[in-house]
Structure 1
Amino acid sequence: MSVGTAGESRTSLPPLGTGPHRRRLGLVALIATFGGLLFGYDTGVVNGALSPMSEELGLTPFLEGWFTSSLVFAAALGAMVCGRLSDGWGRRRTIILLAVLFFAGTAFVVFAPGGDTPGTHTPLGFGTLILGRVLLGLAVGGASTVVPVFLAELAPYEIRGSLAGRNELMIVVGQLAAFVVNAVIGNVWGHIDGIWRVMFAVCAVPAIALFFGMLRMPESPRWLVGRGDYAGAERVLATVRTPVRAAAEIGELRALVDEERGASQIGWRAIFANRNLTKIILVGVGLGIAQQLTGINSIMYFGSQVLEQSGFSQNAALIANVAPGVIAVIGAIIALQMMDRLDRRKTFITGFTLTTVSHLLIGAASLTLPEGNAVRPWVILALVVIFVGSMQTFLNVAVWVYLSEIFPLHMRGIGMGISVFALWIMNGVVALFFLPLVDGVGISNTFFVFAAVGALALLFVWKSVPETRGRTLEALEEEVTTGAIYVPRSR
């Protein structure tokens, strides 16, 4: 097998073809990405549910921050643990476990006891809320690691970017659903006590769908080959490939696994024994951190608060906050169309350039338009929409696809877990300090800080991130292990 440039593959695999196997592949992707939908809803619902919950339970700003960030930091642990778990236990069974965690976490949050009188809470009640958020965080982190890997390992290389990227589309669909549910419930039934529980309860429906759906889905064929189950892997591939293509892929996978075993490349030992594997881990970690330091989740978590500070009323901010959610979905759809046509590096460079410019414009608008100016909230809203659209079109989908494909098979769960762990830790740091930073230095300086960090991220991508598009996972594995992936390619 030989490998061409970043934009083209010269693999000897037969063509993918069309037919029932393509529809089956689409169904498997749809069911698995309910994990992404849950990821999005659970991270977005707090955007509107936090205020009524805090009023009913009498939570202080400190307890609000604890409640919000507990999911994020638990997600970091979930990403690490579930990545490793999926290597040993299987991608499919791990996703089924995540569905159980999503449902259990939702139940704890929805049925957490309140205080004896309105505006109060008990230690047991708040502890139950935190337990529920921690369970949801473990599930969110696990889904962010395992679902993209599952999709990448099932996908043919020709459409790997668009197929694996569907998970990010479902994440933003989940966030948009949370924003819409919050806006409708907050404006129509916001006066009802405990209405925030209904906002959280919606999450139970896709959790049930994910659980029962994955019971009927196959295991990753590449994971099965890694366990020596060649017959099982070929049976799976036969349902999502033509027979000739399935047999050819099994042959390549068998040769690769035999080569790995001959080299004794297993897990952590292989990473630290090979500087190229250590280097690719650092690339994954750096890319995950850079993505979060754009501040995208400060908008997804606290968008309504930012819009209130810009000049919108509370109810108007809830409605206006739907706009970033809509543009995120549109951007994800555009990104899926581009994933298999535009090089990953070009996508990253374009994305960090646009988000950095957006930060500068948001900061400048906030600085030059005084508070009370009728135009100010609408200008900032428009710039926030541009920022979210740029982020979603060029960075979010591409980063998750890149992390799912860059690591060799024997360390894919570990590598993805470490990278996403770093991503979630930085997510938590941004979630904890964004509002205090806005309160301390104002919206303008906050976004100027994001712009400075964005410039550094752009330099990191330019210097350190190698190209991956247009090559099979097996070809990428060989190039990552030998270091050939870092050698500049001529077209």
Structure 2
Amino acid sequence: MSILSMVEDRPTPKEVYNWRIYLLAAVASCTSCMIGYDSAFIGTTLSLTSFKDEFHWSSMSSATQSLVSANIVSCYQAGAFFGAFFAYPIGHFWGRRWGLMASALIFILGAGLMLGANGQRGLGLIYAGRVLAGLGVGAGSNITPIYISELSPPAIRGRLVGVYELGWQIGGLVGFWINYGVDQTMAPSHKQWLIPFAVQLIPSGLLIFGIFLIRESPRWLFLRGRREEAIKNLTWIRQIPEDHIYMIEEIGAIDQTLEHQRSTIGLGFWKPFKAVWTNKKILYRLFLGSMLFFWQNGSGINAINYYSPTVFKSIGLTGTSASLLTTGIFGVVKTVVTILWILYLIDRLGRRNLLLFGALGGSICMWILGAYIKVADPTNNPTDHLSGGGVAAIFFFYLWTAFYTPSWNGTPWVINSEMFDPNVRSLAQACAAGSNWLWNFLISRFTPQMFDAMDYGVYFFFASLMLLSIPFVFFLIPETKGIPLENMDPLFETKPIWRAHAKVLAQLHEDEEHFRRDLEESGFKKSGVEQVEDMAKV
């Protein structure tokens, strides 16, 4: 089987897998380029001599330096936490498309403020800009996975939501290397550290341009009662006519789900809030989604993203250039493995298996890294070159990256974008994104202090959390690959969890046969739209 072949939930015309659907995912994923770049460049920019000199780093104590670094980094996550919830009313009333536009505009305002900072004005503009940029990316982290999952055919939904993760890694790759480039090619100056801040404007500008090339989510349009526009957009995305049996089935499933939601939760702005607190099934899935991001951040990834120079210094690397180069290679490894994850792993091995294997392999690597630092103590025994043990430690760090990236890095976003009903999906994604930024904030805020107080114990801490995530996933998270969004309720209700996927797929195939038989017996005497409306009534 080829790397691009599909694992389909039902017979699907080849026209469905067309360039338009990838364009929509790519444009929306400019938000994750913004996130990835911002999370990667800031830690290495703070390590540049030109930045330290301009803001009088040498006059601060070690504890003050750690505190200022943590504040600059973490105010971005604080803004993102609130941005994730701020996006809910925008996404509900104005749609996914204009929600993405709002995300880009707020981010541009924040990035512009940061460019006004200098030694005389102090760090205030950087703090304010980081908060606004965080609001923008927080909103984007809510809306983008929802938008992509709502327009995706089930067979490639994981891959398309994975494009969001790829955008994150591409942004991060540029962010990791930009500071190595300016460090190697420019003398220390105000301009040297300002360039990495200015590059933030590129992905947000691309998103604004791309908004005019994409269509609104058909499922959101159905939810808002704009049926004709929804069908028009869906036929444009799928590139097949509305009376095609595939379209009849898809529109019928959407109608059936919305009717179920109308009779249970209700279709309104406040109804999902009531459902969250009164419907135990939804509350339970919100808990699962939040915990996935707890385990994700508990792996240590954001400690590495934001404070990579500190991490590599703890392993034994000395010198700004060496640290920046090693960080850049870290970005390359993440990006390459993410491409493999999108093209092959996420829709082949599935979400559940990736989380299990990634946690086990990543935990082993972290235990080895912590043990090396405990024995070698490179911080108190500095050398002008890496020892054999140091080289091995770097190898296991990159091996940890290879385990973590195709598992916990993007898979929680995929699962959270899939497992909620249409009418609560926007609010649920806001809660999921908010929980990600909350755990992200806590890790980034206290990482410098953790390294000061715990040293090698930081690696044992992250290794333990990765190990504890294994029973959580095995007993509580079902496999969601290939399951239509409208069939997530039966998936999560089927027990035991580790067999739910196979049971639900078997039931789907049985229902598919009955549906097609009924359509064939009817002889397709009505138009496509009339047939869809009849099926919705049933």
Task: Identify whether the pair has TM-score above 0.5, normalized to the shorter chain.
Answer: yes
Q: Which amino acid aligns with 1:22?
A: N
2:97 is the alignment partner of 1:92: yes
CA contact (8 A) 1:233 1:250 kept: no
Q: Which amino acid aligns with 1:396?
A: N
2:466 is the alignment partner of 1:454: yes
In the alignment, which of 488, 497, 502 is matched to residue 476 of structure 1?
Answer: 488
Aligned partner of 1:119 in structure 2 is none
Secondary structure of the equivalent of 1:399? helix
Structure 1 spans left out of the alignment, 5+ residues = 1-6, 116-121
CA distance in 2, matches of 1:426, 1:302: 16
Please list, as runs of the form range in 1=range in 2, the aligned pairs for 1:283-432 lying within 5 A after superposition.
283-312=288-317, 313-336=319-342, 337-371=344-378, 372=382, 374-375=386-387, 376-432=389-445
Secondary structure of the equivalent of 1:339? helix
Structure 1 residues 485, 260: closer, same or farther in 2, change over 3 A?
farther
Residue 478 of structure 1: how far off its partner (Å): 5.3
Aligned partner of 2:79 in structure 1 is 74
Residue 332 of structure 1: how far off its partner (Å): 0.6
Structure 1 residues 462, 84: closer, same or farther in 2, change over 3 A?
farther
Residue 47 of structure 1: how far off its partner (Å): 2.0
CA distance in 1, matches of 2:441, 2:84: 13
Q: Which amino acid aligns with 1:105?
A: G
Please list, as runs of the form range in 1=range in 2, the aligned pairs for 1:241-256 lying within 5 A after superposition.
241=238, 242-243=240-241, 244=244, 245-256=246-257
Structure 2 spans left out of the alignment, 5+ residues = 1-5, 58-63, 504-538
Cα deviations by residue, 1:249-299 (Å, 9 ceiling, x for unpaired): 222211211221122433111222221111111100111111111011111
Q: Which amino acid aligns with 2:427?
A: I
CA contact (8 A) 2:333 2:401 kept: yes
Cα deviations by residue, 1:62-83 (Å, 9 ceiling, x for unpaired): 2222111100111111112213
- Compare 64-73 and 262-271 and name the one that shifted more: 262-271
In the alignment, which of 122, 125, 131 is matched to residue 128 of structure 1?
Answer: 125
- Compare 281-290 and 181-190 and name the one that shifted more: 181-190
Identity percentage of aligned residues: 26
Corresponding pairs, count: 471
Secondary structure of the equivalent of 1:165? helix
CA contact (8 A) 1:37 1:174 kept: yes
CA distance in 2, matches of 1:348, 1:301: 23
Aligned partner of 2:88 in structure 1 is 83
Q: Which amino acid aligns with 2:101?
A: I
Residue 310 of structure 1: how far off its partner (Å): 2.3
Residue 419 of structure 1: how far off its partner (Å): 1.7
CA contact (8 A) 2:315 2:393 kept: yes
Please list, as runs of the form range in 1=range in 2, the aligned pairs for 1:216-227 lying within 5 A after superposition.
216-227=213-224
Give the alignment's Cα RMSD to 1 decimal. 2.0
CA contact (8 A) 1:35 1:147 kept: yes
Q: Which amino acid aligns with 1:409?
A: P
Secondary structure of the equivalent of 2:75? helix
Cα deviations by residue, 1:412-439 (Å, 9 ceiling, x for unpaired): 1111111221111111111122121111
Aligned partner of 1:50 in structure 2 is 46
CA distance in 1, matches of 2:309, 2:106: 28
Q: Which amino acid aligns with 1:246?
A: M
Structure 1 residues 212, 110: closer, same or farther in 2, change over 3 A?
same
Cα deviations by residue, 1:354-385 (Å, 9 ceiling, x for unpaired): 11111101111212334236324423222221
- Compare 397-406 and 191-200 and name the one that shifted more: 191-200
CA contact (8 A) 1:324 1:389 kept: no
CA distance in 1, matches of 2:205, 2:284: 39
CA contact (8 A) 1:409 1:477 kept: no
Residue 218 of structure 1: how far off its partner (Å): 0.6
Aligned partner of 2:60 in structure 1 is none
2:40 is the alignment partner of 1:40: no
Residue 113 of structure 1: how far off its partner (Å): 4.3
> Which has more radius of gyration?
2
CA distance in 2, matches of 1:447, 1:46: 22
Q: Which amino acid aligns with 1:466?
A: P
Structure 1 residues 476, 8: closer, same or farther in 2, change over 3 A?
farther
CA contact (8 A) 1:230 1:250 kept: no
Residue 216 of structure 1: how far off its partner (Å): 2.5
2:259 is the alignment partner of 1:258: yes
2:442 is the alignment partner of 1:435: no
Residue 112 of structure 1: how far off its partner (Å): 2.3
Q: Which amino acid aligns with 1:239?
A: W
Q: Which amino acid aligns with 2:55?
A: L
CA distance in 2, matches of 1:425, 1:398: 18
Secondary structure of the equivalent of 2:68? helix
Secondary structure of the equivalent of 1:469? coil
CA distance in 1, matches of 2:33, 2:495: 33
Structure 1 residues 258, 485: closer, same or farther in 2, change over 3 A?
farther
Structure 1 residues 34, 485: closer, same or farther in 2, change over 3 A?
farther
CA contact (8 A) 2:54 2:118 kept: no
Aligned partner of 2:3 in structure 1 is none
CA distance in 2, matches of 1:56, 1:377: 33
Aligned partner of 2:150 in structure 1 is 153
Cα deviations by residue, 1:202-257 (Å, 9 ceiling, x for unpaired): 11122111002112311111111111111111111111212223343222211211
CA distance in 2, matches of 1:254, 1:145: 24
In the alignment, which of 15, 19, 24 is matched to residue 23 of structure 1?
Answer: 19
TM-score (norm 2): 0.84
Cα deviations by residue, 1:48-96 (Å, 9 ceiling, x for unpaired): 2113423212254222221111001111111122134312321110001
Aligned partner of 1:64 in structure 2 is 69
Q: Which amino acid aligns with 2:417?
A: S
In the alignment, which of 184, 204, 217 is matched to residue 201 of structure 2?
Answer: 204
2:186 is the alignment partner of 1:189: yes
